[in-house]
Structure 1
Amino acid sequence: METIAESILQRMPGDLRQYLEKQTNLDDIPICEQEPANVASEVIHVGHSRIKVYFPEFSPAKMVVFLHFRGDSGSIHIAVDYPSALVTRFRQILTDCSAIVEYVRQRCMGQWKETWNTDPARIILSGSSAGATLAILIAAIMARNHELLYGVIALVPLIDTNPDLAASPWGENENTIGLTPRRLLEDLDAAFRDEDPEFRLHWHSNPRKMPDYVMNQLPTVIMVLAKLDILYPSQVEFKTRLEDQGVNLSWIEVDGLHQVKDMDRVTAAGREVRQYILRASREFMKRAACSTDRRPELVPESQREAATKRLSPYDVRRLEEL
């Protein structure tokens, strides 16, 4: 087991400390997500990835679609199984996930609309860790293309994806178990190996680089911060910028580790996160029922901001000037 700094242990809630002391390896921490019982589902292959769609038992007047990028009841839930950074580059992951969102948007305007009364303006992107990063980045790209999105749920997001990380984001949480600087840098190095520097430093791959004029176009953001996560300082910084830019933001911080959402059955912090996300999801559905339908005003294809192409220095300058 990785060593936890004494300063972290002193701040760690008793239930979390007792739980971790029983683990011989971080991999022993169970993933508490369970397959819902008696729910109609469909597995669909989209490009290099696949998605699993869970359909509700009834169709409300206005359906909300939750599209979740893992790191992991009156709405359609979609779990995305995209390739990990250990087998493909981050650019390809962003491209694949963008294609999945576009596929879901087309379904919401077509096949699902007749049966479930879906609308592409009522899609919510969610994710944890790197999945939260993908949700934020894709939401920003969609906003730049005038593609309406209902909201983003970001659980303990990886805000700075620059594998060089000149300024470390972890501060006093450096020895937190589960996501140490060494492990983080190794994962980022694998994800961005062979990527050109322009892409690695552009906001298309790094939320910390997101300009204010892009950030203030984001839809409603629900955010979870974990105080014992080494990424906590950068999460606070990003949260503050969202507030400064007037983004409709709701957030919560808990005494948990990076895996806090997966510990909802063993720690108070995990249960708090699970309840918070449930409340936020219900609020989204409640708002949808009272809202008027909005239609996306699409940017012409020639002007679309693509996550799929290799950005040249000229492209970077052009996108910054838009």
Structure 2
Amino acid sequence: MANSDLAAVEPLHPILAEGVKARRARPAFPDIGPEAAKRLFEEMQANPEGLPAVAEVEALTVAGAEGALEARLYRPDTQALPPLVVYFHGGGFVVGSFATHDRNARRIVNAAGALVVSINYRLAPEHPFPAGPLDASAAVADLAARAEALGADPARIFVAGDSAGATLAIAAALSGRDGRGPVLAGLIAFYPVTDMTTIGAGVSYEAFGDGSVGLSEADMIWFRDLYAPDPADWNDPRCSPLTAELAELGELPPTLVITAAYDVLAEDGALLAARLRSAEVATTYLHVEGVNHGFIGAPNPPPATLSTYEAVADWMKSLG
């Protein structure tokens, strides 16, 4: 896809524009430090009204790289053996939890009829790279081994995530290539971070880096420098999937990449989709107009949010 194809066509939906306005009225994360940012993000996302209902929600413990991790399991209302989706929340590798991304998990459950497990992986700066990717890989391997016991179809295991969580989902899928991990049915990446070495460069950063539509260049630099303070790590494929060799990427399962028109990460996702196709990975790319970074978790979702989840469900079903 040519970079010019990323130019926004539809205006940002008014519901999402109001959300940007509210966010800009709060302190910027880089101005208050990571501890305060973690608390603020949890407060910002705490909106229990109108949560989609699911059949059951339960606490779960899963394996991490250096100990147990908290997780939350969501069951669909179905008698069939559902697919399992292992979900990693966004938050720049620094903020967020399964609580902040509760809506995302519930919407996947209802759209796809899937059993979803959302993971609280270790966060920076207390646990910098590669703690996140190592936790993601360990959690996916653990849940794949337990899929049938949890009531899911062990032949239909998906990894998914949004933003930083999408990057971790990709890292988990990469770690399982060449038979070294569970066989995955697919990978779902909502607006992933794919190249730490180019933050601030490219058409998407040029258009939206000032933060006028949400996530800013300053936010991204702050997140990156807390998560991967050593620039030598930025070229590690677990940190920047675009740096992986084609042969390495070619072992990935069928992949769905979703980007938002008003997002500094739009080009990241577009470039990943193009590189996956060059690696002969079965790749579906969906660029969503009129939305910004984080749109899939909007409390009062515009139509594009729910239609995106429907597209995810259709894609999953197309894989069998």
TM-score bin, normalised by smaller chain: 0.7 to 0.9
Distance (whole Å) between structure 2 residues aligned to residue 69 and residue 131 of structure 1: 4
Distance 1:272 1:37, change over 3 A: closer
Q: 1:36-62, CA deviations, whole angstroms, 9 ceiling, x for partnerless residues?
A: 4441534225324211223345552x5
Matches within 5 A, 1:93-104: 93-104=132-143
Q: Does 1:44 align with 2:61?
A: yes
Distance 1:133 1:22, change over 3 A: closer
Matches within 5 A, 1:168-247: 170-176=205-211, 177-193=213-229, 195=230, 197=232, 199-247=233-281
Q: Describe the SS at the equivalent of 2:293.
A: coil
Distance (whole Å) between structure 2 residues aligned to residue 8 and residue 40 of structure 1: 38
Q: CA deviation at 1:167?
A: 4.4
Q: Tell me which residue corresponds to 1:258.
A: 293
Distance (whole Å) between structure 1 residues aligned to residue 116 and residue 156 of structure 2: 12
Q: 1:208-251, CA deviations, whole angstroms, 9 ceiling, x for partnerless residues?
A: 10111111221111111111101112221111112232211222
Distance (whole Å) between structure 1 residues aligned to residue 47 and residue 275 of structure 2: 32
Alpha carbons 1:70, 1:79 under 8 Å: kept: yes
Q: Tell me which residue corresponds to 1:69.
A: 88
Pick from 80, 95, 109 the counterpart of residue 119 of structure 2.
Answer: 80
Q: Describe the SS at the equivalent of 1:98.
A: helix
Alpha carbons 1:225, 1:232 under 8 Å: kept: yes
Could you tell me the TM-score, scaled by structure 2's length?
Answer: 0.73
Q: Tell me which residue corresponds to 1:90.
A: 129
Identity across aligned pairs (percent)? 19
In the alignment, structure 1 segments of 5+ residues that lack a partner are 1-6, 288-322
Distance (whole Å) between structure 1 residues aligned to residue 280 and residue 179 of structure 2: 20
In the alignment, structure 2 segments of 5+ residues that lack a partner are 1-6, 29-40, 91-100, 102-108
Distance (whole Å) between structure 2 residues aligned to residue 50 and residue 229 of structure 1: 30
Distance 1:37 1:140, change over 3 A: closer
Q: Does 1:156 align with 2:173?
A: no
2:74 partner amino acid: Y
Distance 1:36 1:90, change over 3 A: farther
Q: CA deviation at 1:78?
A: 0.6
Distance (whole Å) between structure 2 residues aligned to residue 188 and residue 154 of structure 1: 19
Distance 1:273 1:86, change over 3 A: farther
Distance 1:183 1:276, change over 3 A: same
Distance 1:264 1:276, change over 3 A: farther
Q: CA deviation at 1:258?
A: 1.0
Q: Describe the SS at the equivalent of 2:187.
A: strand
Distance 1:250 1:78, change over 3 A: same
Distance 1:29 1:178, change over 3 A: farther
Q: 1:122-157, CA deviations, whole angstroms, 9 ceiling, x for partnerless residues?
A: 210000000000111211221233542110111011
Distance 1:38 1:196, change over 3 A: same
**Greater CA radius of gyration, 1 or 2?**
1
Distance (whole Å) between structure 2 residues aligned to residue 178 and residue 38 of structure 1: 33
Could you tell me the TM-score, scaled by structure 1's length?
Answer: 0.72
Alpha carbons 2:260, 2:292 under 8 Å: kept: yes
Alpha carbons 1:215, 1:245 under 8 Å: kept: yes
Matches within 5 A, 1:69-148: 69-71=88-90, 72=101, 74-108=113-147, 111-112=149-150, 116=151, 118-119=153-154, 121-147=155-181, 148=183
Distance 1:231 1:264, change over 3 A: same
Pairwise CA RMSD: 3.1
Q: How many residue pairs get matched?
A: 270
Distance 1:161 1:41, change over 3 A: same
Distance (whole Å) between structure 2 residues aligned to residue 125 and residue 63 of structure 1: 14
